[in-house]
Amino acid sequence: MEDQILGLHHITAIADNAQRNYDFYTKVLGLRLVKKTVNFDDPGTYHFYYGNERGEPGTILTFFPWEGIGKGRNGTGMATEIAYTVPEGSFKFWKERFGRYKVKTGEPVERFREIYLPFADPDGLEMTLIVPGMKDERRPWTTGEVNEQTAIKGFYNVSLALKHPDPTADILTNVFGYKQVKQEGNRYRFLTDSVPAASVIDILADDKGHPGYNAGGTVHHIAFRVKDEETQMRYREKVLQAGLQATPKIDRDYFFSIYFREPGGVLFEIATENPGFTRDEPLAELGSHLKLPKQFEQARNKIEKVLPVLKTI
């Protein structure tokens, strides 16, 4: 099991206003900000990581908040919907909460005999809550308002909208070890049995679809989880053998990454479990300091002046 792709590691999306993003994910959804850092490729903007207490892979949603970027548009070649697992019986709580905070929600939808509750974040990022058929033992982060009976446990699945699904399905099955387990209309479900959660990918086939536009409220990339760098390098070889290009290994401080564009147009990443978010902050203090990679530490004063002030109380 350990040398396999272990489901999702994280998903990264784009936001506009940093404060609005922080308030929504920590206060309304009740997730933990597990790391506050900057975009390593653009250190004048934040990079926020939200997850459970430890920021375990499969629970981490990250954002680049680019003030003024404006709204993007979902379309083919993109990850278009993120589903979070919640405990059985919690939909009533979430519906009331979304009503109170004026969160945009949709009518519940049924897929594969499971009910999804759709909602959107303040930038329009399309998300759902779901009580999965399979048991989810992950321990959630809790807050004064979102307790263990209702709290989000982490990802259930992500949906990829694709004009031509087959080449992407090939990567998921032949390279990443997922199996196609179900189909309903134009939705194809893939599952890996290497992990008990964050193990599902849906492909939505849409041959008449139009390409999306990547800006606020859309997903930038999805990252798959591997145990360590050795496993990661083995998968990099497999990606190259499949005729795709991949970046070299990049140090992201909290994990190591390689990136490649899968044939359907979605940016995929393979990220390691090591070293994790406690490498530069103790568990109790995760997310409470602005952490910078060492190449930017000497520019800390300048960076702190440029970044928007974030009220965290």
Binding stretches for Zn ion (CB under 5 A): 12, 223, 269
Which is closer to Zn ion, CB of 62 or CB of 150? 62
Q: How far is the CB of 232 from Zn ion (least distance, A)?
A: 13
Q: How far apart are CA 95 and CA 119, in angstroms?
A: 10
Which is closer to Zn ion, CB of 69 or CB of 223? 223
Q: How far is the CB of 84 from Zn ion (least distance, A)?
A: 18
Give the DSSP letter string of the chain. Answer: -TTS--SEEEEEEEES-HHHHHIIIIIIS--EEEEEEEETTEEEEEEEEEESTT--TTSEEEEEE-TT--B-B--BTEEEEEEEE--TT-HHHHHHHHHHTT--B---EEETTEEEEEEE-TT--EEEEE--SS---PPPP--SSS-TTT---EEEEEEEEESSHHHHHHIIIIIT--EEEEEETTEEEEE-TTSSSS-EEEEEE-TT--B-B-SBTSEEEEEEEESSHHHHHHHHHHHHHTT------EE-SSEEEEEEE-TTS-EEEEEEEEE-GGGSS-GGGTTSSB---HHHHTTHHHHHHHSPP----
Q: How far is the CB of 19 from Zn ion (least distance, A)?
A: 23
Q: How far is the CB of 204 from Zn ion (least distance, A)?
A: 22
Q: How far is the CB of 72 from Zn ion (least distance, A)?
A: 17
Which is closer to Zn ion, CB of 62 or CB of 192? 62
Q: Among residues 264, 186, 182, which one has the least CA distance to residue 222? A: 264
Q: How far is the CB of 225 from Zn ion (least distance, A)?
A: 11
Which is closer to Zn ion, CB of 37 or CB of 150? 37
Which is closer to Zn ion, CB of 28 or CB of 160? 160
Q: How far is the CB of 10 from Zn ion (least distance, A)?
A: 6
Which is closer to Zn ion, CB of 12 or CB of 59? 12
Which is closer to Zn ion, CB of 187 or CB of 249? 249
